[in-house]
Amino acid sequence: MDDLRPHIRVEPPPGDDVLVLRGGDDTVQSLRRHAERTHRAFALDGRSVYGLSVFCAIDELGQRQLYRRLASYPVLRASSVGRVRGAGFWLLPTFARPHFTVVLVSVEADELGRLLACFDPASQNPRYGHRRRRL
């Protein structure tokens, strides 16, 4: 099982006001499925970890990139780094920007519901259908 630790970027932690986005209208069930997939694939410091991928708009380029990457989703759900961290979740800068992993203690409904509550209700994606490219 691959460990996330070597894939954590060394960079200053994002500010509380940084935008956090996920495409689609997640539910507890969909979050659980995604977190379990991460749990199956990755460990953190040698222990299996539940995690959820999000994109963070850490700078202007990152914001453009993340909207392009989310072009397949008709709707988005937005939060902020402050709201996610304030709810007690770790937010690890993993792999390449603008990717982050929200670390979850479990996939119990309470835990997933607490994460969902950090996000605004789904809203229309202004970049839906725009060209998506790897940058």
d(CA 114, CA 69) in angstroms, rounded, equals 25
Based on the shown chain and the rule CB under 8 A, indicate whether residue 95 belongs to the binding site for other proteins: yes
Cβ within 8 Å of residue 126, ≥6 positions away = 67
Based on the shown chain and the rule CB under 8 A, indicate whether residue 129 belongs to the binding site for other proteins: yes
Token readout for 84 is 């996610």
Residues written for the chain: 135
Least distance to other proteins from the beta carbon of 105, Å? 19
Of 52 and 115, the one with the shorter C-beta distance to other proteins is 52
The window from 12-20, 48-56, 78-86, 110-118 that contacts other proteins (CB under 8 A) reads 48-56
Q: Which residues bind other proteins (CB under 8 A)?
A: 1-2, 7, 22-25, 30, 33-34, 37-38, 40-41, 52-55, 69-74, 95-96, 99, 128-129, 131-134
